[in-house]
Structure 1
């Protein structure tokens, strides 16, 4: 995979995380200010959605770098390890 694509995803992930940091601070202020519960929950849902987008970017990098490298290595144990990692991540997502 192109290192440009990976660099772009890294940059996008860092930007999204910086925005998320601001959103979390905003939720803290909302709670401190005794804002309406539904408004707070809507903000936390937006944070979860944005964090999921960051996870997708990181997962794409993992697939394009680590998994691709294991496949190209023709090492069955390395391939199984990367496959198990992916399955483990998907199991956690499904919980």
Structure 2
């Protein structure tokens, strides 16, 4: 069994995921009540953005903490590949 991992950003991630928690329910209610598709479609990007931002934060946090704990501090020339990977993950 793995040990629990807790990082400083976890409360922020929970907050990001909690914020849209009720949003899908309200979108479902809009669909059920026959709201126009345009109104419904306008609500979906907010839900999507919150989830994407939570995912990015988790990945960045994992790279910053979990990998560093495993690999240890790297010299600047070896660090570039990790930094490049972190930059790429911002586009997920």
Q: TM-score, normalised by structure 2?
A: 0.66
SS of residue in 1 equivalent to 2:24 = helix
Partner of 1:16: 16
Partner of 2:3: none
SS of residue in 2 equivalent to 1:39 = helix
| Unmatched tracts of structure 1, length 5 or more | 1-5, 75-82
Displacement of 1:36 after TM fit? Answer: 1.0
Q: TM-score, normalised by structure 1?
A: 0.64
Displacement of 1:68 after TM fit? Answer: 1.4
Aligned residues: 74
Q: Aligned-residue CA RMSD in angstroms? A: 2.4
Q: What CA distance in whole angstroms lies between the structure 2 residues aligned with 1:47 and 1:69?
A: 33
Displacement of 1:39 after TM fit? Answer: 1.2
Q: Which has the higher helix share?
A: 1
Greater relative CO, 1 or 2 (CA 8 Å, sep 6+): 2
| Unmatched tracts of structure 2, length 5 or more | 1-6, 75-81
Partner of 1:39: 39
Alignment of 1:67-82 (within 5 A): 67-72=67-72
